[in-house]
Structure 1
Amino acid sequence: MKVLAETSKPYLYSILSAACMAVAWWYPGSVQAVYLGWLWAITLVIFFTSKSHLYRAAFIGGALQTFLDFYWIKSTVADFGGFSWLSSSAIFALFIIGSSLQYVLAVFIFKQLPRWVHSRAIAVAIAWVSAEMLAVRIFPWHSGHTQIAFTSFAQAAALAGAPFLSFMLVWICDSSLALVDRSRRNALLFLPWVVFTLLLYYGIKSTHFFDTSEGPTLDVALVQANISITEKHNERLVLANTERYLQLTHEITTPNTLVVWPEAVIQNFIPAGVGHILNDPTLALFEEFELPLLVGGLTFESQSRFFNSAIAIQPNGNVLLPYHKQILMPFGEYTPFGDALPFLRVIHPINDFSAGEEVKVFTYRDLAGKKLARVAPLICYEDIVPQLSRHSVLKGAQLLVNITNDAWFGDSMAPYQHHLIAAFRAIENRRFLLRSTNTGLTAIVDPLGR
């Protein structure tokens, strides 16, 4: 019976930890997710105390969590990429297998660490966070994301990002379990609690600072018309859809309000160097507003270069050179390996978009030429990639603005999961983040991630 228990232990705790993390991601940004994140860390540490079957059990746990958390990928691939039920199922299966390798990688790294690292109850934290950062993933989630509702702790992300929260979660739980074992007990096991206390102090002070500080303000209006995917891609409704956004924008009466429209609202292709709204019949519709606008639309530079862009319009009608989306959605905006494997374009014929090559920071000015704000656009899931936001802030961005179309996710948890990961860009960069969506979760996130 003892042999049976030892054999089943890794599978039991791998499944338990996977279930905890999966359910936490069903309630993104909630207090429940905070508790489940800590319970996940405890079960993960116990899993790594198993003597055998670690690789196989890790793969099973990874597959379970991926299936439970990313169930919406199958329907999204079918809707966004136009794939059949069979093809989208195959893609989802490959996604599950690929994502599960992160857990296997964590076991591999754990086994390579020297004995002195294991003796200090830090090996699991090193192995897990290394796997989180090294694994190639379409959606770069971290276990530390579960802690955003624990505001004072979540501020640690401003120091070293969400992976730092992941590390602290596992390190604290590993050391605490080691303290129970008298043979492993030593003074160093209290170190993570000392660090945790300092981080909470930092978080409390940061929260107080941002809650009591005053500075320049900017009025903003995030316009959401709730247009379904079917309506959005109906060519006969292009003008009507644009008119719905124009009608909502007419309700904005405060001067110098930054108006934000979601991703790809303008479906007519605009010349990238248009210069002024009167040089294009679609942009001319904005003439009457005299407001700073950031609008999602399609642009082109030549007959072979098309872009998913963010178009900045000044109150005087000048149009800045647009920001082009840099991270394109596979199968929706381009065909992966299409040049190397031409048959893929036959199976999945779409017009490929070109990727942008740099971040942009738009400087908005009022009609008198006074600077209003320096704004960095992020399109779609570019707001879940920390590097783009960081580069934008280093270029002087005072405000991060994400325009997206989460309607592809349907009635699932995906828009809320997307929002949770994106909110960490606000904490990491100490900037407000505006999120303007076609449907779903339009929001303003403060520098504390709230």
Structure 2
Amino acid sequence: MNALMSKAWVRATGAVVLGVVLLALYARGSWGLGFVALLPWLWWLDQPASWSRRLLRAWALSLAYVLAAFTWFGTAIAHYAQWPQAQGQAVLLLIAPLLQPQLIVWALVRQGMDGRHRPWLRAWAAAAAWVGIEWLCPKVLGDTLAHGLYPAADLRQAAALGGTAVLTLTLLLANEALAHHLSQWGSGWKVRPRALLVPLGLALALPLLLLAYGASREAPRLDAGLPLLRVGLVQANIADYEGRRQSQGSYAVVREVLDVHYAMSYDAVERQRADAVLWSETIYPTTFGQPKSEAGAQLDQEIASIVNAAGVPFVFGTYDRDATAEYNAAAFVQPQQGLLGLYRKTRLFPFTEQVPAWLDGPLLQRWLPWAGRWQPGSGARVFPLRLRDGRELPVQPLICRDDVDPSLAIAGARLGARALLTMSNDAWFSADPLGARLHQAVAAFRSIETGLPQFRVTTNGYSAVIDARGTVHAAGDFGQRALVVGALPVPEPTPTLPVRWGNWVGPLCLASLAGLLLVRWRPLRGWAPQPAAPLGWPLRV
């Protein structure tokens, strides 16, 4: 008995580790592995177990999933909080179920659909649970399984049909179909050919259909005679503000940051003929337009003078305030007109930018002295970008975590935006640039979902010019000072399905899951329990 248990434990551990390796490679660019990465875990979930062990398996898979794709986040936590690396990774594992709740629900729903149901019904219920929970409970990082498909240029276009949820659903169902095919194959030669071919055909048909759609979807061509927007993205590669403040002093750091941005902006306007200039998130580290000191008022006037001399609009990260709170914001400054308006960041990062009021207090301030207390903005807001040739283009600004929420970009498209201007400070990914690369991939999906071009700038990478297909036309490398200048067409976009219907896939999955679970626990012959037939004696067994 002990030998059997030991052998089962070794096989289970091997399945979990193999799944971690496949998912890690998938998250790092080997997008084809996404269609098979869950096979080892599906095999493990199919092994008989009690409900307590099933719950333990689900929890273990949430840890494994985080280890496969999010160790960079543990590194970022340690870097931001100035903790040892091991402590950052320990916190990451502790909060793994909160970061990936959909995986726990997926595992439990899949195992709760017992052998009385057809395999395709169980597969759909589990996949619907995964996608539905991601819609119902938006995750801190806004991640989903589909983001690993970003390198597949044609396949990722399916996001224009139903957001990344369509692609995540496809990956889950393809893995389930292949798992069923392999289980039938392992049953021996007595299995009918149809039982082998149908699941294999489904696993192949799903991505092929999406590939065919993606190949037919074209982005506006640069030479099609459409109006172009040319933006200069200033990636100054100045990070570690706190360390610089301690060694140089606050004013000296602000002076250095602004001087570098002035010089690079001059190059963008005078030599590269940019129509607008975009600086990154919180690059101006005080309130613009409402100075807190005489020195702040002088800096405000200095920026306005630079914009007047350039003759093009500037958009940059700063702060805003009112009588009750401060906000992470983006300022739109127009030549000769000054401050046109401020967009307030909507999706603040928990425990770094915002602390829940019910949890805030002296104890938390002592434990987390770096935690910010900004307030969120009111949602999407479109601003006019007035160019020097007389054109006025409506644009939607997004700041950092705003671009992981599809609803904000969709709301901007509905308000008439013709382009997305995204800005971020990804410096806390400096120790592991994978986080910054994945963040850019997530942002690129917002362009695919809305059909809008995007100009994205970050403090130290990756800044990029991204078209409506999510293709990067110009980019700066991570950890490098770079001036990224690119032009993209900005026609009146044809509304995509997400713009028309919103995130319709998530609610549909939840509704179908609710129906399946209702049938699952409903008595087989009607709503009322049926009386049992009397037993005849003696029984013949």
Could you say which TM-score interval applies, normalised by the shorter chain? 0.7 to 0.9
Conserved? CA contact 1:106–1:130, under 8 Å: no
Conserved? CA contact 1:377–1:402, under 8 Å: yes
Residue identity in the other structure for 1:421: V
Change (3 A) 1:4 1:344: closer
Change (3 A) 1:336 1:221: same
Residue identity in the other structure for 1:238: V
Corresponding residue for 1:400?
420
Q: Structure 2 regions of 5+ residues with no counterpart?
A: 185-190, 472-541
Corresponding residue for 1:258?
276
Q: Take 1:325 and 1:43, find their aligned partners in 2: how far apart are those partners?
A: 41
Conserved? CA contact 1:307–1:353, under 8 Å: yes
Corresponding residue for 2:289?
271
Q: Return the offset for 1:376.
A: 0.8
Corresponding residue for 2:37?
40
Q: Take 1:176 and 1:64, find their aligned partners in 2: how far apart are those partners?
A: 21
Structure of larger gyration radius: 2
Change (3 A) 1:323 1:352: same
Spell out the pairing of 1:194-273 with structure 2 (5 A cutoff): 194-207=205-218, 215-230=226-241, 233=245, 234-235=249-250, 236-251=252-267, 252-253=269-270, 257-271=275-289
Conserved? CA contact 1:19–1:65, under 8 Å: no
Change (3 A) 1:212 1:47: farther
Spell out the pairing of 1:403-422 with structure 2 (5 A cutoff): 403-412=423-432, 413-422=434-443
Q: Return the offset for 1:7.
A: 5.3
When the two chains are superposed, the root-mean-square deviation of aligned CA atoms in Å is 3.2
Residue identity in the other structure for 1:178: H
Corresponding residue for 2:175?
173
Q: Is 1:16 matched with 2:18?
A: yes
Residue identity in the other structure for 1:244: V
SS at match of 2:332: strand
Q: Return the offset for 1:361.
A: 0.9
Q: Take 1:118 and 1:212, find their aligned partners in 2: how far apart are those partners?
A: 50
Change (3 A) 1:176 1:248: same
Q: Take 1:125 and 1:89, find their aligned partners in 2: how far apart are those partners?
A: 29
Q: Return the offset for 1:243.
A: 0.9
Residue identity in the other structure for 1:385: D
Change (3 A) 1:101 1:360: closer
Q: Take 1:14 and 1:127, find their aligned partners in 2: how far apart are those partners?
A: 21
Q: Return the offset for 1:193.
A: 4.2
Deviations 1:335-392 (A, max 9, x none): 3346654421343345521211121111112357x33421111111211111111111
Change (3 A) 1:199 1:279: same
SS at match of 1:321: strand
Q: Take 2:58 and 2:18, find their aligned partners in 1: how far apart are those partners?
A: 11
| Fraction of identical pairs, as percent | 23
Q: Take 1:92 and 1:193, find their aligned partners in 2: how far apart are those partners?
A: 35
Conserved? CA contact 2:102–2:129, under 8 Å: no
Higher RCO (CA 8 Å, separation ≥ 6 residues): 2
Q: Is 1:291 matched with 2:312?
A: yes
Q: Return the offset for 1:124.
A: 4.2
Change (3 A) 1:210 1:123: farther
Q: Is 1:164 matched with 2:169?
A: no
Corresponding residue for 1:111?
111
Conserved? CA contact 2:61–2:104, under 8 Å: no
Number of corresponding residues: 441
Task: Work out which of the residue numbers 325, 332, 344 in structure 1 matches 2:352.
Answer: 332
Q: Structure 1 regions of 5+ residues with no counterpart?
A: none
Q: Return the offset for 1:329.
A: 2.1
